[in-house]
Structure 1
């Protein structure tokens, strides 16, 4: 059975170092144009974070096809790709970005840690598209004893999901890589390389990385996260906006949401074209598109929706607390779906619910 060696340890440290350096660099920039706009009016600039993942397709499509910029009008859109949720939250907290597509657990963490002051979830983006993939020979949960598994970053949504699931299976883990199953937070591309070289035994990942490990590295799915939720519905990506930006520029946030809903609607209505558009953005960001089989498989696992599935968030918070990556706290006010529901009403769509955890 493989063990994480020096390369695995280095990979575990890399995301934190990258996040710290990135945030420091962004924070050192001059004040954004959005800060120069009068409070209450449209912002001069909106700085948006996102990931190069299929679970962030509303952002990828919205950028590639221009839905977001078109809706924002004279507000300049500046977009920045990140590797994982905690790094995005660091940038948002440092004032380096104004809004972000991010996993639900980092959104919960920043809200709780700031006593509700930092940010608001203003829309959902994606449901599904996460799984635990393992090397051949691991056929049951019991086979995981003594193995090393990867997640994108400590405290990110897949990291919490893995730790919570392992707990239900009777395994102990800790946030320093100890326990019955060792968890090594690792940047996704490095996870693929480590799995191919046999230095890790599996990983809990979002798409397209699940499909990449399955198709390119011979991994097998041990747990599809959808199987753990009622009707398979769980949030993978939400749209989060800094509270100050939302307060000062509600018109700009509403415009962002109009572009976001247009992107989700396009994805729902153009399944045959979605892979090519997503790949075009990925190629622009990373220099390399995904193989056709990978993106086809990945898209089949994800549902795009503006509904953040707010009713699942207390469960997500409890999982983070149990995993040792979150603090217990009050989620009242986490959601502000009022602007989203205004946009949906204009198109005749049904409103989405905050499940009693905020405005709608």
Structure 2
């Protein structure tokens, strides 16, 4: 009997030690591969109205609706897609909203996250300073044009726009000089006549127009590729999160779709919701009329064009943002995983 009791005690002790060693950090949604619901999900997003669906999903608590009220949504705001994509690739966030340009660049390096849904097509404009003497895209020769960050979706669109007009990107007056400035800094630079034009996401172009310092030369529905019908905001998720929490990833897609439908059905109610998030993320909001004007330049949709993303990736290869990959060898088949989106759509029918 004593020997049996000793063996039982030993088994219980070993079981306790193994449980303690295997517990991990329950707050990290990466989890232990056991599929248990995390306490916290880390969501990344930009400080642009082009991320309107994400804002409304946060304000209306659509993520909590599909994830459960016990899950905390931890939001991190980013100024550019490069920082966002690095954060996703290094497990600092679990999922979020970003542009295809920098996320594609990072994916080809790390290959540990995927596009799971669209959120918005288009919404960037080419704004020019009113006194810069620019009345057509060809007038950009010898001028300085700002984009939010190197390799951004906006820079890719700008390069495509210049190619359409036969213009070259240079560092002298023989072509168009491209510089990287954060949108808020670009607004100041336009006021101080340090830059001549910018290809920038909304609401910044509208704000320049409202202030009278600039005018929109090429509207969102003429910006390449596909005349504005290209993914500007997509929903991406880390492979770790997708493996451990597939149903929660589907919930994020549904939250995004619900937010898109809400904005389309209730535009007037959406302005305050979007503004609330802008205040939280950037410290200051916008006039609702400015948000209204910016929303009119968005095509909110969960659909994603693989062809448009591939076209933009090839521009990145030509520009040197994507290295060690030839255009003819480009393979993004594993970057886009729209199976979850398809499942969500089927379940809604």
Shorter-chain TM band: 0.7 to 0.9
Match for residue 190 of structure 2? 195
The range that moved more, 48-57 or 222-231, is 222-231
Match for residue 264 of structure 2? 268
Please say if residues 192 and 217 of structure 1, whose CA atoms lie closer than 8 Å, have aligned partners that are also in contact: no
* Residue 283 of structure 2 corresponds to residue 282 of structure 1: no
**Structure 1's 96 and 250: CA in aligned 2 closer, same or farther, altered over 3 A?**
same
Match for residue 45 of structure 1? 40
The within-5 A match list for 1:298-337 is 298-327=294-323, 328=325, 329-337=330-338
**Structure 1's 103 and 208: CA in aligned 2 closer, same or farther, altered over 3 A?**
same
**Structure 1's 315 and 145: CA in aligned 2 closer, same or farther, altered over 3 A?**
same
**3-state SS, counterpart of residue 43 of structure 1:** coil
The range that moved more, 297-306 or 177-186, is 177-186
Please say if residues 138 and 167 of structure 2, whose CA atoms lie closer than 8 Å, have aligned partners that are also in contact: no
Match for residue 150 of structure 1? 146
**Structure 1's 249 and 268: CA in aligned 2 closer, same or farther, altered over 3 A?**
same
**3-state SS, counterpart of residue 46 of structure 1:** strand
Match for residue 240 of structure 2? 244
Structure 1 residue 70, shift from structure 2 partner: 2.2
Match for residue 340 of structure 2? 339
Match for residue 121 of structure 1? 115
Of 240, 244, 253, which aligns to 1:257?
A: 253
**1:179 and 1:341 mapped to 2: Cα distance?**
48
| Gap runs ≥5 in structure 2 | 1-24
Please say if residues 143 and 173 of structure 2, whose CA atoms lie closer than 8 Å, have aligned partners that are also in contact: no
Please say if residues 124 and 306 of structure 1, whose CA atoms lie closer than 8 Å, have aligned partners that are also in contact: yes
**3-state SS, counterpart of residue 30 of structure 2:** helix
**1:177 and 1:118 mapped to 2: Cα distance?**
39
Count of residue pairs the alignment pairs up: 316
Structure 1 residue 61, shift from structure 2 partner: 0.7
| Gap runs ≥5 in structure 1 | 1-29, 349-360
Please say if residues 220 and 297 of structure 2, whose CA atoms lie closer than 8 Å, have aligned partners that are also in contact: no
**1:121 and 1:188 mapped to 2: Cα distance?**
25
Please say if residues 30 and 244 of structure 2, whose CA atoms lie closer than 8 Å, have aligned partners that are also in contact: no
Match for residue 162 of structure 2? 166
Structure 1 residue 199, shift from structure 2 partner: 0.8
**1:283 and 1:250 mapped to 2: Cα distance?**
31
Please say if residues 122 and 240 of structure 1, whose CA atoms lie closer than 8 Å, have aligned partners that are also in contact: yes
Could you say what the CA RMSD is over the residues aligned between the two structures, in angstroms? Answer: 2.1
Residue by residue, what CA displacement relative to the aligned partner does 1:314-353 show, whole Å, maximum 9, x if unpaired?
Answer: 21111222233224331111111222222222221xxxxx
Name the larger-Rg structure: 2
The range that moved more, 260-269 or 285-294, is 285-294
Match for residue 181 of structure 2? 186
Match for residue 55 of structure 1? 50
**3-state SS, counterpart of residue 34 of structure 1:** coil
In the superposition, the TM-score normalised over structure 1's length comes to: 0.82
Match for residue 296 of structure 1? 292
* Residue 209 of structure 2 corresponds to residue 214 of structure 1: yes
Of 85, 90, 98, which aligns to 2:86?
A: 90
**Structure 1's 110 and 102: CA in aligned 2 closer, same or farther, altered over 3 A?**
same
**2:107 and 2:31 mapped to 1: Cα distance?**
26
Match for residue 5 of structure 2? none
Give the ranges of 4+ consecutive aligned residues of structure 1 lying more than 6 Å apart after TM superposition.
176-179
**1:179 and 1:76 mapped to 2: Cα distance?**
53
The within-5 A match list for 1:341-356 is 341-348=342-349
Structure 1 residue 80, shift from structure 2 partner: 0.6
